[in-house]
Amino acid sequence: MRHTQAVPKIDLSYSWGPDMSPPSETDAPQQRPQALLRNPLMDLLQAVREQGSIAGAAKSLNLSYRHVWGELKKWELRLQQNLIVWEKGMPAELSEFASKLLWAERQAQARLAAPIESLMAELERTFAVAFDPDVHLLTLYASHDDALIRLRETSAREGLHLDIRFCGSVDAIRALNEGRCEIAGFHTLCEPHPQSLSALTYKPLLQPGQHKLIGFAKRSQGLLVQPGNPLNIHSLQDVVTKRLRYVNRGMGTGTRLLLDELLRNQGIQAHQMSGYDHQELSHSAVATCIASGQADTGLAIESAALAAGLDFVPLVTENYWLACLKSAIDSPQVKALRLQLETVQWQTALGAMNGYAAHQSGLVQSLKKELPWWNLRPRKPV
């Protein structure tokens, strides 16, 4: 009866450093040139096979006899298999199991050479950011926005690497307050009412003296409709009156908050919107849903409509803000972002995007100046 043994778990790792650094006895042995994926045991076994002794293997690897002997014994205990065949007066030989290990490693290296090289190149490109003193890294949680995607592309060429995580506006500001990012992107109506839903939502999260605003852009939001607007949609009231299929954004997103704000201002109840509970994760997902005929309309940015071949019915203009802690406003990475936003090149590129315009881009503003709920004037006595 054939005896089977569980295959050991494979763990992958990587290392970096000067290309020609000599190994120490605590380092992994020098890897054979053809091996792309490192495993110190394979080097030990190959050296023993080629040299015919532990002493010869140690010498070829620039390691001590004691170190090589100890490593082989350690691996034998871990794998519960003999690796070396010892016979008095005879050269050291690999056991059948050790020979099969080397065979398996050669097969794996041959089959995985191309993807391993690709992975190594990607790791090198990624870690180049960390090793380059002239490159700044900035983590940014933000409400989904096409202009931020463009900014990430242009900033990379200027030595600013933006690590952008798209999420809802509320979640972005919470991430900022919890120290998970340095910048939070959110948006509000250009002139939000002091008693608006935006005020009730953002006021507990942003505090004067603790947070600062960085101007980013103005952008349009409106209803996405089929080309030519065959259903003649011009307002949210049309969506209700004509009982059209609406596609919404999720709770916590700035666009969902905007919709609820507009509905409240127009006296429309959420349950009157067919599809109010149909949620998508991004502006582009809303556009795709409408373009595929799964919904008739939804609130999103103009660039998402055009990218999906849809028409756009503008409803509101809003400010897109970047918030950060006051203590971080002059950090090297935030200053690099502000300088990038202030450039003529960026503001020209932003203005060329459909539905966008530069607005105080890169300029630091106070909450009290830009958000009306922080600048309430006391009522005059009657």
Task: Tell me the per-residue pLDDT of 63-73, one tens digit each, with 9 for 90 and over.
Answer: 999 999 999 99
Q: How far apart, in whole angstroms, are the C-alpha atoms of residue 332 and residue 134?
A: 10
Instruction: Please tell me the predicted confidence (pLDDT) of residue 22.
Output: 43
Instruction: Please tell me the predicted confidence (pLDDT) of residue 38.
Output: 75
pLDDT grade, residue 109 (50/70/90)? confident
Work out the percent of the chain whose per-residue pLDDT is above 70: 90
Q: Which of 145, 108, 112 is nearest to 282 (CA)?
A: 145
Q: How far apart, in whole angstroms, are the C-alpha atoms of residue 171 and residue 167?
A: 6
Instruction: Please tell me the predicted confidence (pLDDT) of residue 117.
Output: 79
DSSP type of residue 86:
-
Domains 40-130 and 136-374 agree in fold: no
Contacts by 64-68, CB closer than 8 A, 24 or more apart: 64/25, 67/25, 68/44
Domain range list for the chain: 40-130, 136-374
Query: What pLDDT, in 10s, does the model give residues 174-207?
Result: 999 999 999 999 999 987 777 888 888 999 999 9
From 3.40.605.10, 3.40.190.290, 3.90.1010.10, 3.40.50.1820, which CATH number describes the 136-374 domain?
Answer: 3.40.190.290
Query: What pLDDT, in 10s, does the model give residues 123-169?
Result: 877 777 778 888 889 999 998 899 999 999 899 888 899 999 999 99
| Two tokens, residue 34 | 């053809």
Query: How many CB atoms within 10 Å of residue 342?
Result: 15
Return the CATH fold of 40-130. Answer: Arc Repressor Mutant, subunit A (1.10.10)
